[in-house]
Amino acid sequence: MIEERYELVTERIKEIEKEQGISEEFRGYFQRMSEFVSMIDELNTCIADGEYQKLPLSELEAWNRRLYEDILPENYEESYANPAYAVKKLGNKYGQLLSFLYTELRGAIVYTFEKKTEYLDILFELLVQIYHQFEEEQCPEPSNIKETIYWYASDYCDVFAADRIREQVDEKESFAADLIENADLSDIRYLYYFGEYISENERKTAAHLKSLPEEVIRKMADVYTEGYRMGFVNTGKDLSGKSTVNIRYVLGFERVVKKAIENFRKMGLEPVIYRCSVSVITKRQQIRTGFYGAVPNKQYEYDHKDDQGLFLDKQYVERKLEVMKTAFEQYKEKAACHAGPAWIEMFGEKPFTPVQKEESVKLSEKQAELSRLYDSRAGQLTNTYIPGDERSFTIIAYPVPEIGGCYEEIFDEIIKINTLDAKLYEKVQQILIDALDKGKYVHILGANGNRTDLKVQLLKLKDPLKETNFENCVADVNIPVGEVFTSPALEGTNGILHVSRVYLNELQYKDLEITFSNGMIEDYSCSNFEREFENKAYVYDNILHRHATLPLGEFAIGTNTTAYVTSKKYKIEEKMPILIAEKMGPHFAVGDTCYSWSEENKVYNSNGKEIVAKDNSVSLLRKEDVSKAYFHCHTDITIPYEELKSITVVTETGEEIVILADGRFVLDGTEILNEPLKNM
């Protein structure tokens, strides 16, 4: 029946290209949709017949370009995927709706590669349903089109959202894992079998990894998988009862992933490698979770990050949560055996500052509140079936060729940074922790134009001989080495955090400034845009994630001066991922603490002291109402050493212990951290 539905609906859509029965105003749009579906059908036949994988590289590149060219920056200004262009051509009433429809239909590309014919049927039938409205009336009521979109999202939530749950925990959903393990990774053509957009970054990354000796690939995989294993060891969690691990990465890194799969299997873990979502039903704004290729156009993704605003209401939220619960219940045994994610991140792309478009869908205040409600309850559901206190994670990052002409050199430097001597850092960082544990609060002051003046309150230790506030981070879940961190007390944490330029979640911020009052965000701004309300909206949407306020969930001091010097040497400071950037100076995370969902687990540093600062007054609300305790976001903001005047520990008696002065470590025994800085 699925195949029969597919044949019928594709034939119907192909006829649209020749028809003249609708208003000329909309004819070009639907003809473009017909051409797109015809292209997908041609691709589907090529893959089904086995011809696609026989194509030479040049033809695979041509196919890839053809599939994605309409949303590439050079073509996007005249693409119906661009809401501004769609509104210009189709009018205010229809442009936004039909731009959404085209964007949603573009998911057909990856569904074709994964042979999800049912998904193609659903999308193509949605197109036909809306087209028929334009056949019946020259200008159909926009509310009727909106209603059709609403019922598409609601009716097929039990397909898309339920399948998404299964993909997260079921190792049998193995499209990517099978491809990685069975493809000839020495033949670059394999990149085009995933269905993602492939740019120079992915091609050159795969080529560079192909050139590296086997022992280097093994070393890269080993530090990644061993960090994951040590995450369980260091937090006292039992890995033996787990059976799956979620591998998240960017295409081009398959040689390392293949070796990592071998390592994970030795731990008893099968890989779960699912694709980043492409449907409005399962996406969370422009955030990518899973595996993916190049982003064809970040502005395109930003323009459509809030498309759910076309249908988001309370009924839909309840429906989606019910689907989630039913799916988790169906796969609860697999969910309970899921060990958590292991990320390989890439960095080095040009910083991106989006254009704010009036034509893009925006959430109303009520919808933003519903979105937060959904995130909270979905997080609680996930934690029920995949308990946070039983799972772990690890993250590691490497550069993409776009980072610059010294790509190979930078790549080698990052390998060294990711494999630094953890034991040495552990010893030096303990000296910092010993000083910090004497403090009532820590005072951070900026310099060289940095306006930071912030006092971070620390938890009072009941037994300093057995307890500590700070975790000694030595490259387990969070690679590379190089930080000590705590969950600060909120009450008494006051002041301004400022950084001249920072790159967070692939978005650039200029002159980001956040004011804290008793540990909660009181005010915020940046200077990305000319109008102040746009700057506030940008921070509100992408750092506060539409919460009225957020707590300071983490305070940390980065110690990885080697990474800092590398960033300066190659002038890639603003391209460094937060994973490495947070090790290059003091950093502050807004949102949940580092211990969210696992606060009750006892955690110890290697010296035997228990880390007791895992909660704050907000996270403690979980004992009364869990929905008030978590925000489902954690964004790290780092002050680079050159913008730092001092970090000073202030004790109960008023004694001041200076830890850093003018960007240099000054405590006895920590001077070794300054050695790399001498080479700047």
299 pLDDT band, cuts 50/70/90, is: very high
Q: How far apart are CA 316 and CA 311, in angstroms?
A: 8
Of 27 and 477, which is predicted with more confidence?
A: 27
Q: How far apart are CA 299 and CA 279, in angstroms?
A: 17
406 pLDDT band, cuts 50/70/90, is: very high
- What the block records as the tokens of 634 is 């954690």
Q: How far apart are CA 305 and CA 301, in angstroms?
A: 6
Residue 53 clears pLDDT 80, i.e. is over it: yes
| Minimum mean pLDDT range among 52-61, 223-232, 486-495 | 223-232
Query: Percent of the chain, pLDDT > 90?
Result: 88
Question: CA 122, 127, 132, 133: dihedral to nearest 10 degrees?
Answer: 110
222 pLDDT band, cuts 50/70/90, is: very high
The 8-class DSSP code of residue 138 comes to: S
H or E segment to which residue 485 belongs: strand 483-486
The 8-class DSSP code of residue 355 comes to: P
Residue 476 clears pLDDT 80, i.e. is over it: no
Q: Provide the residue type at 88 as one letter.
A: K
pLDDT in tens, 230-283: 989 888 899 999 999 999 999 999 999 999 999 999 999 999 999 999 999 999
Q: How far apart are CA 475 and CA 478, in angstroms?
A: 5
- What the block records as the tokens of 121 is 């049927």
Residue 437 clears pLDDT 90, i.e. is over it: yes
| N-terminal to C-terminal alpha carbon distance within the chain | 67
What is the SS3 assignment for 232? helix
Residue 5, pLDDT score: 96
- The structure's pTM equals 0.88
Residue 279, pLDDT score: 97
Strand order in the sheet with 634-638: 471-473, 483-486, 552-558, 586-591, 634-638
What is the SS3 assignment for 58? helix
- 46-53's contacts with Cβ under 8 Å and 24+ in sequence apart are 47/112, 47/113, 47/115, 48/115, 52/193, 53/189, 53/193
Q: Which residue is associated with the tokens 């080993």?
A: 222
Contact criterion met (CB below 8 Å) for 640 and 631: no
Average model confidence (pLDDT) for the chain?
95
Query: How buried is residue 655: exposed, middle or buried, by Cβ count under 10 Å (0-12/13-18/19+)?
Result: exposed
What residues form DSSP beta bridges with 250?
292
What is the SS3 assignment for 456? strand
Q: How far apart are CA 196 and CA 295, in angstroms?
A: 9
Burial 503-517 (b: 16+ CB within 10 A, else e): bbebbbbebbbbbbe
Q: How far apart are CA 548 and CA 523, in angstroms?
A: 10
Contact criterion met (CB below 8 Å) for 83 and 310: no
Residue 503, pLDDT score: 84
- What the block records as the tokens of 270 is 């099968």
Question: CA 569, 574, 580, 582: dihedral to nearest 10 degrees?
Answer: 120
Cα 47 from chain centroid? 30
Of 505 and 358, which is predicted with more confidence?
A: 358
Contact criterion met (CB below 8 Å) for 197 and 64: yes
pLDDT in tens, 171-209: 998 899 999 999 999 999 999 999 999 999 999 999 999
H or E segment to which residue 265 belongs: helix 254-266
pLDDT in tens, 512-548: 999 999 999 999 999 999 999 999 999 999 999 999 9
- What the block records as the tokens of 591 is 């949102």
Contact criterion met (CB below 8 Å) for 407 and 346: no
H or E segment to which residue 569 belongs: helix 561-569
pLDDT in tens, 563-583: 999 999 999 988 888 889 889
Mean pLDDT score, 71-88: 98
Q: How far apart are CA 41 and CA 14, in angstroms?
A: 10
The count of other CB atoms within 10 Å of the CB of residue 49 is 9
Residue 342 clears pLDDT 90, i.e. is over it: yes
Contact criterion met (CB below 8 Å) for 235 and 392: yes
614 pLDDT band, cuts 50/70/90, is: very high
Q: How far apart are CA 3 and CA 115, in angstroms?
A: 11
Residue 504, pLDDT score: 87
Q: How far apart are CA 95 and CA 85, in angstroms?
A: 8
Question: CA 92, 95, 98, 103: dihedral to nearest 10 degrees?
Answer: -130
